[in-house]
Amino acid sequence: MEPDRWAEERRRGLTIDLGFAWMMLPGGERLAFVDVPGHERFVPNMLAGVGPVAAVLLVVAADGGWMPQSAEHLAAIDAVGIRHGLLAVTRCDLADPGPATRQALDRIAGTSLGPVEAVAVSAVTGAGLADLRAALARLVAALPAPDPAAPVRLWVDRSFSIRGSGTVVTGTLPAGTVTVGQELLLTPSMRPARLRGLESLNEPVTSVTGVARVALNLRGIPADVPARGMALVDAGRWTLTKLMDVRLSLRGGPGPPSEMTLPSHRTLPPEMTLPPEMTLHIGSARTQARIRLLGAPGTAIARLTLREPLPLHVGDRVLLRDPGSAGVVILGATVLDVVPPALTKRGAAAAAGRELAAWPDPPSAADLLRRHGLLRASALAAMGATGGPPPVAGEWLADPARWANLRGQLAEAVAAHAKRDPLAIGMPPEAARAALGLPDRALIGALANPPADPAHPASHPADPASHPAGPAGPAGPASVQLQDGYLRIASDQRRDPAPQKTPEPRQPLQPREPAPPLPPRVVAGVKAVLADLSGAPFVAPEAGRLRDLGLDARAIAAAARAGLLLRVTEQIVLAPGADAKAAQVLARLPQPFTTAEARQALGTTRRVAIPLLEYLDRAGITQRLPDDRRRLRLTLSVAFVPVTRCGSGSSRARCG
């Protein structure tokens, strides 16, 4: 096949733009070629063709030998990191192919291609062409099979319109599958395009799996929109970015590439100065990139700021070229982070350089999580990282160390809040989210000790297996609970004995665990109430008395949470343990008993007796019968008597 498509190319006998051709291998398999121009003026076109391919056929003329453009092409192949190739030495009817072959193999060996096969051919006599076919078959057989489920990124290398069909784009599909009817997004606008028709090597097909040359007929995209360098991508599986952190590697360049190849690709020669801006190539795309080294001269870690956004994954190889320089400077780079954090703090750039220098190529999900702390699983996938720990909340993944740290911060924030506002029922989760600078309130719920749910280990961040406890982990001192919509430091004393909850006898004014102290005026008010109640334990203070003592609803709630009062209703407060005492009194009555009998035995009025009995019903201490009489549940006299004799709260559990 003649790949030169343009009249000018045929007239000048010179390839200018990309050409496309294919052949049948001896085994019946078809092999597609992207023909690239050799002339140095058309290097950008050459790079657009080389970018997405799996393997290269490098051609050198027997009579011409290794040329400057051969070196530049090889440097580009090396920078992009292509690992599979074959050397063809042509025009062997005109000269002995030996010297050119040896020269070329020597240079190729030191690049990403490594040692390759060489075949001498003549297009005029046909010598060696059968060997070339066989060598191509071996090359193809050695290629790794691309993942058919991989995210689709098809770099557009040609775009045209066909009357009656509309917009058509072509490209090399490196991996993944495209199917008629499927929707892809066209970068950088992310305009959706539906695949109306599909061709591979001039034949209509319904589905193609990479690696393959494909032509896509697009619905929804006007013919003048797509252009070389745009890409068709699967929605949500790529990160469109203008900012990225990379590891540069100096490969190829003028002279034998082996001399320029560094033993470790983790540093650059300290004396090497990089231009502030270079042209970045990936796939068929090219754009300008501003380069900022993250660290001292010689560091290979850099932050690139692109003029146009590109759809990228971590681990992508990009090529940087300085078209302005006299000697051609070509660098390869591996993308390490496609959403790098801002470098605002002093020393942040050097710190980032040090951190990223230790990362592997490609970075793992754990590396990215360590840097970002928290990431949505979908964002991590769009960065191109697979794996990662189970989510801590919803879609959120957390770095274990960061998560442990956040637990400590949350405990501090909740404790500080309680100190600032001792009467508050707890810290609102939204306030905690803002205080910790977290992106989602669900994370606060997950940081606070969640109720144990063995059916959902992933939603159970206290599980030390999935999140090893840090200094403030589940084993640490910081334990925050989210209850009834508020965050509180978890402890028995701080649990709100709201009227609906099962009452527990408490030791008056002797908090068992340190809780943020109540304001002195509240403590004084509580003491006065308890003094009132000491002679008549069921004659709850009137609303006016509470008001005079400065005990409003918030103060009463706080005192109840601290275990200093028993809150029967909003208005009725008794001493802690009054419920147990009432049970003892009622146990002495003939069962069942009426409300009037209970009121009399308790020595109080209906204002207190009725809510207190209802409280005891809810607590399961008494049972209300259909005729409105009540009886004590038997177990309770057993449960309560020893409790009151135990004396100390710390031994309560054992007593119970």
Ligand X SMILES: Nc1nc2c(ncn2[C@@H]2O[C@H](COP(=O)(O)OP(=O)(O)OP(=O)(O)O)[C@@H](O)[C@H]2O)c(=O)[nH]1
15 vs 170, which CB is nearer to Mg ion? Answer: 15
Shortest Å, Cβ 3 to Mg ion: 7
15 vs 177, which CB is nearer to Mg ion? Answer: 15
Shortest Å, Cβ 17 to ligand X: 10
* 456-to-63, 392, 446, 466 alpha-carbon distances in Å: 71, 11, 12, 12
Shortest Å, Cβ 57 to Mg ion: 12
15 vs 334, which CB is nearer to Mg ion? Answer: 15
User: Of 9-17, 158-166, 397-405, 420-428, which part binds Mg ion (CB under 5 A)?
Assistant: 9-17
75 vs 310, which CB is nearer to ligand X? Answer: 75
Which entry of Mg ion, ligand X, none binds 124, CB below 5 to 8 A by partner kind? ligand X
User: Of 8-16, 58-66, 97-105, 642-650, which part binds Mg ion (CB under 5 A)?
Assistant: 8-16
Find the DSSP H helices in 471-588: 520-535, 543-548, 553-561, 578-587
Within 10 angstroms of residue 393's Cβ, the number of other Cβ atoms is 20
Biggest distance spanned by C-alpha atoms of the chain: 125
Residue 64, token pair as written in the block: 């011409």
User: Of 88-96, 131-139, 272-280, 471-479, which part binds ligand X (CB under 6 A)?
Assistant: 88-96
Tokens 């190539």 belong to residue: 281
Which entry of ligand X, Mg ion, none binds 597, CB below 5 to 8 A by partner kind? none
User: Of 8-16, 305-313, 321-329, 481-489, which part binds ligand X (CB under 6 A)?
Assistant: 8-16
**132, 119 Cβ separation under 8 angstroms:** yes
15 vs 187, which CB is nearer to Mg ion? Answer: 15
Query: How far apart are the C-alpha atoms of 337 and 277, rounded to whole Å?
Result: 19
Query: How far apart are the C-alpha atoms of 312 and 309, rounded to whole Å?
Result: 9
Interface with ligand X, residue 41, by CB under 6 A? no
User: Of 31-39, 99-107, 430-438, 546-554, which part binds ligand X (CB under 6 A)?
Assistant: 31-39
Distance from the Cα of residue 569 to its chain's centroid? 48
CA-wise closest residue to 211 among 1, 384, 32, 23:
32
Which entry of ligand X, Mg ion, none binds 141, CB below 5 to 8 A by partner kind? none
Query: How far apart are the C-alpha atoms of 274 and 292, rounded to whole Å?
Result: 9
Count of residues of this chain found to bind ligand X when the rule CB under 6 A is applied: 14
User: Of 15-23, 98-106, 224-232, 612-620, which part binds Mg ion (CB under 5 A)?
Assistant: 15-23
Q: Which of residues 222-241 bind ligand X (CB under 6 A)?
A: none
Shortest Å, Cβ 170 to ligand X: 19
The sign one gets for the Cα dihedral 65, 71, 73, 79 is positive
Q: Which of residues 99-128 bind ligand X (CB under 6 A)?
A: 122-124
Among 22, 30, 93, 435, binds ligand X (CB under 6 A): 93
Query: How far apart are the C-alpha atoms of 604 and 473, rounded to whole Å?
Result: 49
Among 10, 39, 456, 588, binds ligand X (CB under 6 A): 39
* 642-to-151, 497, 636 alpha-carbon distances in Å: 67, 21, 11
Shortest Å, Cβ 77 to ligand X: 15
Interface with ligand X, residue 13, by CB under 6 A? yes
Which entry of ligand X, Mg ion, none binds 13, CB below 5 to 8 A by partner kind? ligand X
**568, 499 Cβ separation under 8 angstroms:** yes
User: Of 7-15, 24-32, 185-193, 200-208, which part binds ligand X (CB under 6 A)?
Assistant: 7-15
Residue 607, token pair as written in the block: 């204002």
Which entry of ligand X, Mg ion, none binds 200, CB below 5 to 8 A by partner kind? none
Which entry of ligand X, Mg ion, none binds 39, CB below 5 to 8 A by partner kind? ligand X
Interface with ligand X, residue 130, by CB under 6 A? no
**Does a cis peptide bond (omega within 30 degrees of 0) precede residue 362?**
yes
Interface with Mg ion, residue 15, by CB under 5 A? yes
Query: How far apart are the C-alpha atoms of 564 and 36, rounded to whole Å?
Result: 85
Interface with ligand X, residue 14, by CB under 6 A? yes
Count of residues of this chain found to bind Mg ion when the rule CB under 5 A is applied: 1
Shortest Å, Cβ 20 to ligand X: 14
User: Of 10-18, 129-137, 380-388, 521-529, which part binds Mg ion (CB under 5 A)?
Assistant: 10-18
**101, 139 Cβ separation under 8 angstroms:** no
Shortest Å, Cβ 90 to ligand X: 4
Among 37, 174, 363, 511, binds ligand X (CB under 6 A): 37
Shortest Å, Cβ 191 to Mg ion: 34
**515, 493 Cβ separation under 8 angstroms:** yes
Shortest Å, Cβ 4 to ligand X: 7
HEC string for 322-359: ECCCCCCEEEEEEEEECCCCCCCCCCHHHHHHHHHHCC
Shortest Å, Cβ 305 to ligand X: 34
Interface with ligand X, residue 97, by CB under 6 A? no
Query: How far apart are the C-alpha atoms of 118 and 102, rounded to whole Å?
Result: 9
Shortest Å, Cβ 94 to ligand X: 5
Q: Is 196 exposed, middle or buried (0-12, 13-18, 19+ CB in 10 A)?
A: middle
**Within the chain, how many helices (H) and strands (E) appear?**
20, 28
Type of residue numbered 500: Q
Residue 128, token pair as written in the block: 């060696």
- Would you list the DSSP string of 383-414? TT----PPPSBTTEEE-HHHHHHHHHHHHHHH
* 24-to-1, 2, 123, 201, 521 alpha-carbon distances in Å: 12, 15, 18, 11, 94
Interface with ligand X, residue 172, by CB under 6 A? no
**82, 66 Cβ separation under 8 angstroms:** no
Interface with ligand X, residue 137, by CB under 6 A? no
CA-wise closest residue to 171 among 182, 158, 162, 183:
158
Closest residue to ligand X in the complex (CB)? 38
Closest residue to Mg ion in the complex (CB)? 15
Rounded to 5°, the CA angle 477-482-483 comes to: 125
15 vs 249, which CB is nearer to ligand X? Answer: 15
User: Of 11-19, 139-147, 274-282, 336-344, which part binds ligand X (CB under 6 A)?
Assistant: 11-19
Residues of this chain that bind Mg ion (CB under 5 A): 15
Q: Which residues bind ligand X (CB under 6 A)?
A: 13-15, 37-39, 59, 90-91, 93-94, 122-124
